[in-house]
Amino acid sequence: MAPKSVGLTAFGGYIPRLRLQRKSITGANAWIAPNLVGKSKGERSMGNWDEDPITMAVEAARDLLGGDEDRSHVDALYLGSTTLPFSDRLNAGIAAAALTLEQDIQAVDVASTQRAGTTALLQALNGVAAEAHKHALVCASDKRKTRAASPQELEFGDGAAALAVGSDKLIARFIGSHTATIDFVDHFRGSGEEFDYGWEERWIRDEGLAKIVPACVEGVLQKTGVSASEINHFVMPCTFPNLPQKLAKACGILPETVADTLRAVCGETGAAHALVMLVHTLQKAKPGEKILLVNFGGGCDAVLFETTELLTAMQGDATRRGIVGSLADRQEETNYMKFLTFNGLVEWEQGMRAEQDKKTALTTLYRNEDAIMGLVGGRCTETGVVQFPRSRISVAPNKPTVDTQEPYKFADRKATILSWSADYLSFSMNPPNHYGIMMFEGGGRIMMDIADVVPGEVDSGLEVRMVFRVKDTDDKRGFKRYFWKAVPVRNVVATAQAAE
C-alpha cells in the first residue's frame, strides 16, 4: 500500500472544439451501413487537422499548469497514448519542450495499450511514492484513426487529460491499485497499421470485461480494505451501453455511482479516456469521496482515490478548463467530409501550392528549440523591450543593445489581433487560411496562424491566446513540425461552471 501522502495535486483537460454530429456520419453512410443509423444520437469530439495526441496533451497539461512561468517543480512527465506520432523520437520530449519544462527531468512515453493512460498514472504515483520524483505530470491523449462507416468512427472521440502527482496539497489521495496483465485480444493494431482490428463484441463483453473487470476490482478492494459500498464514483471507460452499471452491481458497487462515459458529448478518447473521465469526475466530486478508476485493455487497472477538502478550491478556479470547460467550448460540425479530409481518409485535390517541400532542418530546429517549441522570445535587460524571436541585437527602436536579451515566454500571454486576413489562395487544410499579426500584452508581436475560427469571426482587436499545434506535416519523410497558433479567447469556462 502506498504512503498516505501520495496522490493527485491538480487536473487539466482538453477536448478539441469541433464536435462532429453523429447523424452527419450515419446519414452519409446509411447506404452502406444501415445498421449504424441507430447510433446517430449525440456528437463526438473531432480534432482539427492540426491537432494530434501531442498537441492535445500539451493543451491539457497547460490547463493543469496554468500561466505560471516557473515550471521547474515538474521533475517527471509521463505521456500515455496509442497514437503517438513518432515511433523513435521521444514524444513526451516534444511535449516537455512545448511546456518549457526543465531538461533535467524524466520524460516517458507509455504506449501500446488502452491502459496507457492509467499505466502512466500508476508509474507516476509509484515514482512519487518511491521518492524518485517530487512532482510528476501525467498526460494521456489519443486520436485514433477509424475507417469510414465503422462503428468505431461513431464511438471514438479525440481528447486528452492531465494530472499532477505529488505528495503535498493533494486534491485526491491515492489509496491503492491493482493491475492484471492478460493478453486478451479484444482488438489490436499492428505496428505501422492505421486501423484497429477487432473481434466479436459479445465475446469481448462476456469473456473479457465481465470476467476481468470484477476480478481486478476485487483485487484493489481487498488490498486496500475498502468495501465496495464505500465507492462514490465508479469510473470506467466502456462503449457497451449499461455494461459499467452491470459490472458495478456485480462488484457490489451502487450502480448510481457509475460515471458518465461522455458518449453523448465526446465519444471514447482511447487511452486518454480513463483520465478524461477521472478529471470529469474530479470536477464534480465532493471532498471525502472515494473514486474507483477502472481501465480495461490487455488486462485491467483499478486505481482507488479519496478526494480531499482541497478539491473544492480547484473546482472553483475559473481559469482551469478541465474536461467540463473543454466540453462547453464546442462548435458543432456537421460536415462529415471535413472529418474524413482532416483524418487523411480521402484523396483530395490540394493543388500545386501544396507541393511545397516541408523538409525540416533539424539543426535549425534545435538551435531555435525554445522559440519554436516553447514560444520563448527575448527581453532586453536594459530597455525592457520584448521581442520574438530573440536576437543578439535588440529590435528596440533607437537602442539596438547587443547581447542583452534574456529568455521571455510568450505562450501564456494574451494578445490581440493587429492585422489579419482570411486567405483563400495559399494552401490550407482548412481554408480560408487565417493568419495575422498578434500583439502581446507586455510587448512583442508575432505573425502567426489563427486556428479554430470560421470566416467572419476574426477582426482587428480580437483577443487571442496561444495554442500548440501541428505546423506542417512532411509526408515524404514522416516528420511533423509543431509551432504555436492563435485562437480566440472564449469565456466558456466560467459559463460552464455556472451551468454545473
Positions in the binding site for another protein (CB under 8 A):
351-353, 356-358, 360-361, 363-365, 368, 371-372, 385, 387-389, 391, 395-397, 417-428, 432-433, 435-437, 439, 443-449, 455, 459-461, 471-472, 481, 483
Q: Which residues contact 109 (CB under 8 A, 6 or more apart)?
A: 79, 81, 84, 90, 91, 92
Q: How many Å apart are CA 53 and CA 61, to the nearest integer? A: 12
| Smallest separation (angstroms) from another protein to the CB of 423 | 3
What's the CA dihedral at 50, 149, 160, 208 to 10 degrees?
Answer: -150
| Smallest separation (angstroms) from another protein to the CB of 488 | 15
| Smallest separation (angstroms) from another protein to the CB of 404 | 15
| Smallest separation (angstroms) from another protein to the CB of 45 | 26
Q: Indicate the residue among 131 and 475 with the shorter CB distance to another protein.
A: 475
Q: Indicate the residue among 48 and 146 with the shorter CB distance to another protein.
A: 48
Q: Indicate the residue among 241 and 461 with the shorter CB distance to another protein.
A: 461
Sign (positive/negative) of CA torsion 381, 386, 390, 395?
A: negative
| Smallest separation (angstroms) from another protein to the CB of 479 | 11
Contact between 117 and 80 (Cβ < 8 Å): yes
What's 257's DSSP letter? Answer: G
For cell 495499450, what's the residue?
Answer: 113
Q: Indicate the residue among 184 and 420 with the shorter CB distance to another protein.
A: 420
**Nearest residue to 263 via CA among 177, 371, 157:** 157
**φ and ψ at residue 430, rounded to 5 degrees:** -145, 70
Contact between 100 and 256 (Cβ < 8 Å): no
Q: Indicate the residue among 272 and 467 with the shorter CB distance to another protein.
A: 467
Contact between 291 and 304 (Cβ < 8 Å): yes
Q: How many Å apart are CA 265 and CA 44, to the nearest integer? A: 6
| Smallest separation (angstroms) from another protein to the CB of 359 | 9
Q: Indicate the residue among 316 and 461 with the shorter CB distance to another protein.
A: 461
Q: Indicate the residue among 298 and 378 with the shorter CB distance to another protein.
A: 378
**φ and ψ at residue 449, rounded to 5 degrees:** -70, 150
| Smallest separation (angstroms) from another protein to the CB of 361 | 4
Contact between 13 and 140 (Cβ < 8 Å): no
| Smallest separation (angstroms) from another protein to the CB of 17 | 20
- Residue 265's region, left for phi above 0, alpha for psi from -120 to 50, else beta, is alpha
Q: Indicate the residue among 245 and 430 with the shorter CB distance to another protein.
A: 430
Q: Indicate the residue among 96 and 371 with the shorter CB distance to another protein.
A: 371
For cell 521533475, what's the residue?
Answer: 75
Q: Which residues contact 254 (CB under 8 A, 6 or more apart)?
A: 229, 231, 248
* 327: Cα separation from own chain's centroid: 12
Count of alpha carbons within 13 Å of 125, Cβ hemisphere only? 26
| Smallest separation (angstroms) from another protein to the CB of 360 | 7
Q: How many Å apart are CA 154 and CA 266, to the nearest integer? A: 10
Q: How many Å apart are CA 343 and CA 331, to the nearest integer? A: 18
Q: Indicate the residue among 350 and 495 with the shorter CB distance to another protein.
A: 350
| Smallest separation (angstroms) from another protein to the CB of 364 | 4
